[in-house]
């Protein structure tokens, strides 16, 4: 499947079945370099399945994915790290497993990037949820991926930690990394996502900027067009039968 010349990632006609249930039904989308794409939708929409397929953890039953040669960084919803090791030991371990020529240098760079330099020798289990998530993201970035996939990265974080997280992620996108994140927080998606991919019951309902989604609401559910974004989004889903 041909994509646009600037697309860092393309997915076409992705389908996934779990038993008799269709988790994804012909989902297609693409993302450009440095783009921040928010994947939103109700529970069971297929957000985690889509990200898992893009990450290569789950094999699709149909469709295809084209990924950049630099690989894809994947940051699961729950921190995937060793809580009895220190921050630095975790980064050093994964840098070694990634095959870095200078694993200590790579780990030190990620410590700096994630703002965890002062906590490098702390056992991860003793860190706050927000800081654990930062370590989780730093590990995902060790491979210097061109595309970064984040599955509900802000779950469990307090507002201050969320702000720091999005500042960090926005900085990565500003540096050219394509960031695709799923979230239940519609306001967060509107605020940080340059594009929104709306999924419901495994289908792709919308793919575009937040402003276009609001326009779509105005035409399909005008009574909710001037309400807050979350209410407008719920009305849109309702109008589409979800």
Partner 1 sequence: MRWLLLKDLQILRRSPLQAVLLVVYPVLIALLVGFAISRGPEKPRVAFLNEVPADTRVSVGRQQLPAAGVGGRICARVECVAVGDRKEAVEEVESGDVLAALILPEDLIDRINSLSTLTPRTPKVEVLINEEDPVKAQLVDERIATLLARANLAIAQRIVKEGSRYLDLLIDGGRFRVAGVAVQILGLRATAQILTALEPALPPGPLRTSLRQVTSFATQARDNLDVATPLIERLAQPIEVRKEVVSGSSPPLEIFAISVAATLTLAFVVVLLVAGSLALEREENAFPRLTRGLVSPLGLLVEKALLGIAVGQGVTLLMLGGLQLFVPLQWSRIGLWLLAILAGGAALGAAGGALGAAAREVRAVSLLAFMVTLPVALLSLVPSGAIGGGLFDLVEIVTAVFPFKPALEAMSAALDSAGPGIGRPLLHLAILTAAYGLLARLALRRFAAV
Question: Which residues bind to partner 1, rule: CB under 8 A?
Answer: 55-57, 74, 76, 78-85, 89, 93-94, 96-98, 123, 139
Give the nearest distance from C-beta 176 to partner 1 in angstroms. 22
Closest approach, Cβ 171 to partner 1, in A, equals 23
Shorter beta-carbon distance to partner 1: residue 95 or 213: 95
Q: State the minimum distance, in angstroms, from the CB of residue 57 to partner 1.
A: 5
Closer CB to partner 1, 67 or 225, in the complex: 67
How far is Cα of residue 4 from the mean position of the Cα atoms in its chain?
Answer: 21
Evaluate whether 93 touches 85 at the Cβ level (below 8 Å): yes
Residue 56: HSE in the Cβ half-sphere, 13 Å Cα cutoff: 9
Choose between 81 and 186: whose C-beta lies nearer to partner 1: 81
Tell me the CA distances in angstroms from 68 to 10, 148, 166, 194, 221, one per residue in order. 9, 11, 24, 20, 39
Closest distance between partner 1 and the C-beta of residue 97, in Å? 4
Rounded to whole angstroms, the Cα distance separating 237 from 242 reads 5
Nearer to partner 1, 1 or 125 (CB): 125
Cβ of residue 96: shortest distance to partner 1, in angstroms? Answer: 4
**Distance from C-alpha of 170 to C-alpha of 166, rounded to nearest angstrom:** 6
Both structure tokens of 195 = 């594009």
1 versus 80: smaller Cβ distance to partner 1: 80
Cβ within 8 Å of residue 210, ≥6 positions away: 189, 190, 193, 196, 229
Do residues 33 and 179 lie in contact, with contact meaning Cβ atoms separated by under 8 Å?
no
**Residue 21 vs 83, nearer CB to partner 1:** 83
Minimum CB distance to partner 1, residue 55 (Å): 7
């Amino acid at each position: 499947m041909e994509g646009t010349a600037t697309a860092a990632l393309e997915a076409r006609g992705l389908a996934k079945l779990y038993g008799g249930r269709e988790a994804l039904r012909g989902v297609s989308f693409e993302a450009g370099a440095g783009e921040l794409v928010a994947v939103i939708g109700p529970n069971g929409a297929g957000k985690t399945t889509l990200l898992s397929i893009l990450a290569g953890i789950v094999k699709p039953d149909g469709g295809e994915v084209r990924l950049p040669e630099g690989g894809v960084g994947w940051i699961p919803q729950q921190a995937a790290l060793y809580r009895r090791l220190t921050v630095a030991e975790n980064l050093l371990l994964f840098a070694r497993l990634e095959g870095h020529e200078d694993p200590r240098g790579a780990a030190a760079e990620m410590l700096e990037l994630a703002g965890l330099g002062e906590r490098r020798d702390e056992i991860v289990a003793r860190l706050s949820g927000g800081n654990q998530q930062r370590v989780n993201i730093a590990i995902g970035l060790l491979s210097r991926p061109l595309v970064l996939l984040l599955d509900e990265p802000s779950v469990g974080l307090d507002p201050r930690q969320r702000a720091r997280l999005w500042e960090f992620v926005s900085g990565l996108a500003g540096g050219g990394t394509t960031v695709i994140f799923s979230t239940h927080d519609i306001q967060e998606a509107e605020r940080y996502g340059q594009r929104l991919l709306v999924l419901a019951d495994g289908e792709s309902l919308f793919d575009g900027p937040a402003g276009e989604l609001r326009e779509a609401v105005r035409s399909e559910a005008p009574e909710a067009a001037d309400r807050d974004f979350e209410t407008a989004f719920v009305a849109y889903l309702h109008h589409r039968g979800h």
